[in-house]
């Protein structure tokens, strides 16, 4: 890590902004009280506008360089 930002994000930020990617990451999950679980990033529009899949549901997520990914699977569920 360099200044709290992972090498993946530094190298691929321009490639994934505004685009769709399928990448599995560990994230804090709201319904688990902030415990970690694996999620799949479906769309990355910016640090505060990320769409992920967790337990078969599409949810909103945010990214913070200090805490990592945070998924709101309670209030941030996206209905198709």
Separation CA 42–CA 51 (nearest Å): 6
> Is it the case that residue 73 has pLDDT exceeding 60?
yes
- The three-state secondary structure class of 29 is strand
pTM of the complete model: 0.72
pLDDT of residue 22: 75
Q: Tell me which residue of 5, 10, 11, 20 sits closest to 51, measured CA to CA.
A: 20
Assess contact for 52 and 33: CB atoms under 8 A: no
- Going through the chain in order, the beta strands assigned E by DSSP cover 19-29, 36-46, 49-54, 57-64, 68-78
Q: Quick check: 47 pLDDT over 90? A: no
pLDDT score for 80 = 80
């Amino acid at each position: 890590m360099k200044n709290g930002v992972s090498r993946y994000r530094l190298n691929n930020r321009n490639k994934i902004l505004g685009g769709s990617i399928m990448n599995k990451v560990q994230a804090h999950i709201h319904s688990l009280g902030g415990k970690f679980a694996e999620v799949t990033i479906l769309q990355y529009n910016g640090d505060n506008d990320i769409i992920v899949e967790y337990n078969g549901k599409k949810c909103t997520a945010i990214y913070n360089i200090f805490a990592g990914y945070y998924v709101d699977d309670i209030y941030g569920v996206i209905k198709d």
